[in-house]
């Protein structure tokens, strides 16, 4: 159910990069609810009729636009902006791609690839990936954050202490997010909405899907928060848990290399057991499988595990 919003901000009121000098498109009071129309991560460069050629031709200066910024009255540097995610209105379509030079295994997957998704925007029934696979959906916000204090334009691709492109799949409905405020009014923006995502978003994209989101703003005065925090309303993996997981691991002294090994092993497993190509397996892992640090104390080797939900193939 969509929340009743005090204001609506449309997709054309968006910007590229974080910059404290960007004029706000709306001023609100604490307690107000705002509906924002978020553009997909490609900035509209990929559409429901796109081909893989559109991935190869992506203009990276136009990716990850964010809608806003919103000025929140009474939010001052040193405060915290409390953002409650109230509801999503999904579009019913999305895309997942391998973008050359991007992703955990960019050195192994050098050619562009694209999968287009259709899903029921009302019921959010699992979306078909192939004749044998269906992925449970759970909308989330890939990019959500505030303007940084440092002057000038800053990339929207990476996260920072005031939020940004965090790609945390659990920032979804009824999540409460706390962001440190560095500039007057906080200057809040949001974009890069996902129909679902695996923890790690290993190929670099989730089910990238434009949608509208309603959020409520509150200000917590004088809380010296170092980095973003959030609370979830309940279990975070219920949509995947029902029939268990296949799990691969990577072991070694470098967490990044262990993560790469765990994902590579899962790609091999899916390719051999499910008949998917390696690149199909890679994209599927990015939207539904979860990277976890399983052990980080038994020097000199750590263990990273990669959990693939078996419900996708049931």
CATH number at residue 267: 3.10.28.20
Residue 147 pLDDT: 98
Looking at the domain assignment, is residue 37 inside a domain? Answer: yes
Q: Return d(Cα 145, Cα 142) in angstroms, integer.
A: 10
Using one digit for the tens of pLDDT, what is the confidence trace for 126-184?
999 988 899 999 999 999 999 999 999 999 999 999 999 999 999 999 999 999 999 99
Q: How many of the other CB atoms lie within 10 Å of CB of 68?
A: 25
* Domain end residue (candidates: 203, 231, 259): 231
Looking at the domain assignment, is residue 2 inside a domain? Answer: no
**Structural domains of the chain, count:** 2
Q: Same structural domain for residues 48 and 92?
A: yes
Residue 2 pLDDT: 60
Q: Same structural domain for residues 116 and 164?
A: yes
Q: Same structural domain for residues 46 and 185?
A: yes
Is 33:3 a contact under the CB 8 Å cutoff?
yes
Residue 5 pLDDT: 84
* Domain end residue (candidates: 184, 208, 231): 231
Residue 203 pLDDT: 98
Supply the mean pLDDT for the chain: 97
Longest CA pairwise span in the chain (Å): 57
Q: Return d(Cα 189, Cα 24) in angstroms, integer.
A: 10
Is 179:146 a contact under the CB 8 Å cutoff?
yes
Using one digit for the tens of pLDDT, what is the confidence trace for 98-122?
999 999 999 999 999 999 999 999 9
Instruction: Please compute the mean of the pLDDT values over residues 6-23 and round it to a whole number.
Output: 96
Q: Same structural domain for residues 286 and 153?
A: no
The DSSP code sequence of 138-184 is: --EEEEEEE--SSSS-B-SSSEETTEEE---TT--TT-EEEEE--ST
Residue 145 pLDDT: 98
Instruction: Please compute the mean of the pLDDT values over residues 19-26 and round it to a whole number.
Output: 97
Instruction: Please compute the mean of the pLDDT values over residues 260-286 and round it to a whole number.
Output: 98
Residue 92 pLDDT: 98
Domain that holds residue 105: 7-231
Token pair 């190929």: residue: 203
Q: How confident is the model at residue 1 (pLDDT cuts 50, 70, 90)?
A: very low
Q: Same structural domain for residues 68 and 120?
A: yes
Q: Same structural domain for residues 59 and 142?
A: yes
Q: Same structural domain for residues 298 and 193?
A: no
Q: Indicate the DSSP class of residue 208.
A: B
* Domain end residue (candidates: 197, 214, 231): 231
CATH number at residue 104: 2.60.120.580
pLDDT for 222 beyond 80: yes
Residue 288 pLDDT: 98
Task: Give percent of the chain with pLDDT exceeding 90.
Answer: 97
Q: Same structural domain for residues 77 and 159?
A: yes
Looking at the domain assignment, is residue 168 inside a domain? Answer: yes
């Amino acid at each position: 159910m969509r929340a009743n919003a005090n204001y609506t901000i449309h997709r054309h009121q968006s910007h590229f990069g974080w910059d404290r000098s960007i004029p706000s498109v709306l001023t609100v009071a604490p307690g107000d609810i705002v509906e924002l129309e978020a553009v997909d991560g490609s900035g509209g460069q990929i559409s429901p009729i796109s081909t893989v050629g559109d991935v190869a031709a992506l203009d990276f200066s136009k990716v990850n636009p964010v809608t806003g910024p919103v000025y929140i009255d009474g939010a001052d540097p040193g405060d915290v902006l409390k953002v409650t995610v109230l509801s999503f209105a999904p579009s019913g379509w999305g895309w997942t791609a391998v973008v050359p030079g991007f992703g955990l295994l960019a050195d192994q997957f050098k050619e562009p690839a694209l999968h287009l998704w259709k899903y029921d925007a009302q019921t959010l029934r699992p979306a078909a990936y192939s004749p044998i696979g269906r992925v449970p959906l759970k909308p989330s916000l890939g990019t959500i954050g505030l303007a940084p204090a440092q002057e000038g334009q800053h990339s929207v691709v990476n996260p920072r202490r005031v939020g940004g492109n965090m790609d945390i799949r659990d920032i979804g409905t009824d999540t409460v997010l706390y962001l440190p405020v560095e500039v007057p009014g906080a200057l809040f923006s949001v974009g890069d909405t996902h129909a679902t995502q695996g923890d790690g978003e290993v190929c670099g994209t989730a089910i990238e899907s434009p949608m509208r989101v309603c959020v409520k703003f509150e200000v917590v005065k004088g809380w010296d928060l170092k980095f973003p925090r959030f609370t979830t309303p309940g279990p975070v993996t219920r949509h995947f848990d029902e029939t268990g997981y296949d799990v691969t691991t990577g072991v070694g002294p470098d967490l990044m290399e262990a993560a790469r090994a765990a994902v590579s092993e899962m790609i091999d497993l899916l390719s051999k057991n499910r008949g998917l190509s390696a690149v199909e397996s890679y994209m599927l892992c990015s939207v539904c499988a979860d990277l976890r640090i399983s052990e980080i104390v038994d020097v000199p080797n750590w263990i990273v595990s990669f959990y693939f939900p078996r419900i996708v193939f049931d």
